[in-house]
Every structure is written in C-alpha cells, then in structure tokens.
C-alpha cells in the first residue's frame, strides 16, 4: 500500500486519524499487519493517527535498499548535484512551512511561532550544507622527496539517525544535511510519540528530486526498533539525540559492530547573573529559556545562579513574571506556552517538582498541572519557579524537560564556576552581565560545549554545537558536523624510480 502524508493530513486534523509506516527505496508504504501505536494530539487528547512499528524484516529491507542506492547512485553523485538536491529540499520546506507547522503543532503541542522558527531554521541548515557541498576538501601530509601522502574523507555508506520529539525539523535536518552532503545515505528513526513531521519532511525531499532510498524513515518503540537499526551490520555510524540513559544504550548497541557514534544527551545548564546584569533583559530571557517549548529543550538555563545581594529581588521578579505567562492551546496566537508531549511525561515533571519542594525548595510560581477550561484534556503544566534551591536538591540535579526553573544564590565568581561544573552535564551555559574580565573568566572556566553571553538558544549553521561530560560528544553544525559523518583514509604513494628492494639477490 502506498500513500502520501499530505493527502490525509486534513483527515488527521479532524481527529479521524491516519497511518504512517515506512519511507524507503521502495517508496512510502504502510504495511497491512504488525504492531501499531496511537498518535494523540497532546493539547486536546484527540487521536490524530496510527503508527506502524517496523519489524526486523522491514528494517533489513530498508537498510538493504539504502545500501544499494548508496553504492549505485549516491556515492557516484557529483558534490554539486548533492548540493542542488539539498537546496531544492530546503526550498520545498520553505514553500510548505504553513502545512508543516499544522502537522507539528498537532503532533507535539509547541506554539505555532516556535514550530515555524524550527521549520525556517531547518531550511537554513539545508541551504548551508547545500552551499558547502562542492567545497569540501582533503589534505596532503608531509611533503617528502619521491612520496605523495594525502588524506581522503570518505562516507560510511549507510548511517542511522535517531531523533527526539522536541525539535523534529531541526533534529532531522541537522543529521541529514551533513550526512548526505558527505555522501552517506541515512535511515532516520522518528520518535514514536510524534513522528508525523519526519515523514512529511522526507516526502518533500523525494518530491524535490532526492532519489528514493537516500533518506529513509522508520519508527516504533525505541527499545524495540532502536537496536534493530543501530545494531544492523550495514549501519556504519550512529547519530543520536536524546537522554543519557538512552545514550548509554546506543553506545552499547554501537559496540555490536564497533561503529562510531555522535551523541547529544541533554543538559542541566547554568545561567549566571553578574551584579551588573541588565535585569530588564535578563529576567524575561531567563524565563523564556526555561519555558520555550514548555521547557522541553536540552539547553534550558534551568539553574539560575544569582549573587547573594540580588537574590531576593531577582527571585521575586522571576516568580511574579512567571505567573503572567499565558498557558494555552498551541493553536492560539495569545498563548505564550503550550503543552508537554503527553500526560505520562507531565506526571514525571510534576513528581520532580514535588520532590524538590519536599527537599526544601520554595515554590514561587506554578508547581502543578494546568487543567482549567480548554486545557482539561491536554498535558499542560504551569510555568514553575523554585527558590531556595540547594546544589543537592533534585531540581538542581535532574533534567526536568519541563517548565521548571530553579534559583540558586552564590557569593563569588570562582564559587559559581565550581558549582556550575558540579553537574554531570555540560551542554550549554549562559552568562548575563557586562564586566568583560569576569565574563571571560567564566567563559574559560565553565565546562560546557556552548557558552552564551547576554543571549540564549542562539544557533547558527556555522557555529558547532555539542556537549561535554554526560551531555555527549561530537558536533552538530558547521564543517565539524560533516567530519562526524566521514572517515579519513590515508593514501601513501611512493614515486621513486630507483630504490633497493628488500630481499633482493
């Protein structure tokens, strides 16, 4: 059976549902039999689709198809042609941005403006990689008499990309862009809780002229489908975005065939206010850092460090401002925060907030589900600010992946560096202030892959992004990301015409 995502989206939005299955070298298929999972709109609880879970035979077929396309087509495709195809895909995404936003708002529950920003960024990512497709170069090594030595960066063949639900457009293109421009084919495992945008994005790639099989999509439960893909003998590399526990599982799975991995595993990022910080800018920025996408972001500045002298004022202002944030249906322009991905996740967030309060934190705002009126059937949670949080409080240790900001006090700069670095995570950090000497001291001392100064969530395709410590390893964005999807071969060519041969008579 073949179908197009776009043909049935209107049906899905009416709540009648649709089925998604597999996109591979054989086209878009929805198998008639097999395990299926329901897809619900997290803001309304409505059933919007049914997901087919790929089985072992189907994964084998998808990977085999991708391998055949890699060997017969993609590895032989000129770099400038790869670039043109990526550019055409970016253009298709831009033309369909409103349709794509409809899908993601219903599937994930982010605000429409948040979703549109992600979709626009995904076009920008693909255009960046399209532009560098014919500019990737090798290198020569030591120049020796009568010997030529050079390096060739080659693709792995077929790589696997495993994506989370909280930024489907960004996550897919951040993997597919560098993987494809490097010459690989890629098989994406879409998140089982919100897969629809992945399917439509890849369908647009095919409509834009990308040969079938260069980018494929499968999905299902992570513990079931994940190993079938990541342990497959024809997968040459794995790119994963998710949590630390799943990241450890990916590392174990990669050991089956000893393949390299890229891991982005979340964070518990510090946001440090200096005494001269502009509070009129910093306070709303800090809250938005924590409440954008309902806090379902790996780079939330969830540990807000405030100087002792400012602590009471800043805590009060953060709490008061959080109370004014309008939680509402993500389809409404008036809403300032949408919903969590589902009620099961909301229960986890609420349990963490309750544990934090039991451990001594003071709740200044929120601290409970939002269930009034039109929110009753969704998975909404109140924007939450906790004060009097100590370093050993669960709120300071655990990534909530929900709208929970913690306020901590500090007395001097070296202390705040040490306490910021005490976390097992090291993805990002924020600094708010104007003292250049102190800012530079902090930026140098913080163990974080990205340090933002008087800004936050600031991404660009040219700026590498990735974590330290248990936030993972490897880089997205820029040429660094292309390098993640290539393996270097050294070629040594002896050009001498006169030499003594070993073991000669």
Cα distance between residue 111 and residue 330, in whole Å: 4
Known catalytic residue at 476: yes
395: nearest Cα among 302, 312, 459: 302
67 is catalytic: no
d(CA 300, CA 297): 6
What residues form DSSP beta bridges with 152? Answer: 489
Which pairs count as long-range contacts for 93-98, CB under 8 Å and 24+ apart, including other chains?
93/119, 93/122, 93/123, 93/126, 93/169, 93/201, 93/204, 94/120, 94/123, 96/200, 96/204, 97/123
Distance CA(305)–CA(320), nearest Å, equals: 18
> Which of 273, 305, 286 lies closest to 410, judged by CA?
305
Q: Residue 175 catalytic? A: yes
- For residue 293, indicate whether it is catalytic: no
Q: Catalytic: which of 46, 58, 104, 264?
A: 264
For residues 73-111, one letter each, b for 16 or more C-beta atoms within 10 angstroms of the residue's C-beta and e for the rest, the string is ebeebeeeebbbbbbbbbbbbbebbeebbbbbbbbbbbb
Active-site choice (46, 58, 114, 476): 476
DSSP string, 242-296: S-HHHHHHHHHHHTTTT--EEEE-----EEEE-TT--HHHHHHHHHHHHHGGGG-
Nearest to 164 by CA among 226, 86, 256: 226
| Short-list 1, 15, 98, 116, CA closest to 52 | 1
In angstroms, the CA 248 to CA 263 distance is: 9
CA–CA distance from 110 to each of 163, 304, 345, 404, 502 (Å)? 17, 24, 15, 17, 70
Helix (H, G, I), strand (E, B) or coil at 430: strand
Nearest C-alpha neighbor of 292 from the set 170, 161, 421: 170
Catalytic choice (67, 175, 189, 469) = 175
List the catalytic residue out of 231, 298, 363, 469. Answer: 298
Cα(298)–Cα(163) distance, rounded to whole angstroms? 13
Catalytic residues: 175, 264, 298, 476
């Amino acid at each position: 059976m073949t179908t197009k995502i776009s043909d049935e989206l209107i049906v899905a939005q009416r709540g009648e549902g649709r089925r998604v299955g597999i996109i591979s070298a054989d086209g878009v298929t929805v198998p008639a039999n097999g395990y299926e999972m329901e897809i619900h709109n997290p803001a309304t609880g409505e059933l919007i689709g049914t997901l087919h879970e790929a089985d072992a035979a189907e994964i084998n077929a998808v990977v085999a198809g991708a391998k055949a396309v890699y060997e017969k087509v993609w590895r032989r495709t000129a770099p400038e042609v790869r670039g043109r195809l990526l550019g055409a895909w970016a253009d298709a995404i831009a033309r369909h941005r409103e349709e794509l936003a409809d899908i993601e708002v219903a599937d994930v529950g982010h605000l429409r403006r948040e979703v549109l920003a992600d979709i626009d960024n995904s076009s920008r990512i693909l255009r960046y990689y399209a532009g560098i497709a014919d500019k990737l170069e090798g290198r020569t090594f030591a120049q020796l008499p009568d010997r030529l030595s050079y390096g060739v960066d080659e693709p792995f063949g077929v790589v696997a990309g495993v994506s989370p639900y909280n930024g489907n457009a960004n996550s897919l293109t951040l993997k597919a862009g560098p993987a494809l421009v490097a010459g690989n084919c890629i098989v994406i495992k879409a998140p089982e809780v919100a897969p629809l945008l992945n399917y439509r994005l890849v369908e647009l790639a095919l409509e834009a002229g990308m040969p079938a099989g260069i980018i494929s999509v499968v999905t299902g439960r992570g513990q079931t489908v994940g190993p079938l893909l990541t342990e497959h003998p024809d997968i040459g590399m794995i790119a994963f975005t998710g949590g630390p526990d799943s990241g450890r599982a990916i590392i174990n799975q990669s050991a089956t065939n000893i393949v390299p991995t890229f891991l982005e595993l979340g964070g518990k990022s510090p946001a440090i206010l200096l005494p001269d910080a502009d509070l009129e800018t910093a306070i709303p920025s800090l809250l938005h850092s924590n409440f954008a996408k309902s806090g379902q972001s790996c780079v939330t500045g969830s540990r807000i460090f405030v100087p002792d002298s400012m602590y009471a004022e800043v805590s009060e202002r953060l709490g008061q401002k959080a109370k004014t944030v309008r939680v509402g249906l993500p389809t409404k322009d008036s809403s300032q925060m949408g919903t969590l991905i589902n009620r099961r996740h909301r229960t986890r967030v609420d349990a963490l907030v309750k544990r934090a309060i039991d451990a001594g934190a003071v709740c200044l705002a929120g601290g409970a589900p939002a269930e009034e009126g039109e929110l009753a059937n969704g998975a909404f949670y109140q924007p939450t600010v906790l004060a009097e949080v100590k370093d050993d409080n669960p709120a300071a240790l655990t990534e909530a992946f929900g709208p929970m900001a913690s306020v901590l006090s500090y007395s001097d700069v070296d202390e705040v560096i040490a306490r910021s670095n005490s976390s097992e995570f090291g993805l990002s950090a924020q600094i708010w202030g104007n003292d250049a000497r102190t800012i530079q001291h902090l930026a140098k001392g913080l163990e974080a892959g990205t340090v933002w100064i008087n800004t936050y969530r600031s991404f660009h395709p040219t700026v590498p992004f990735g974590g330290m410590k248990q936030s993972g390893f490897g880089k997205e964005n820029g040429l660094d990301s292309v390098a993640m999807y290539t393996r270097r071969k050294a070629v040594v060519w002896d050009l001498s015409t006169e030499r003594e041969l070993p073991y000669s008579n």
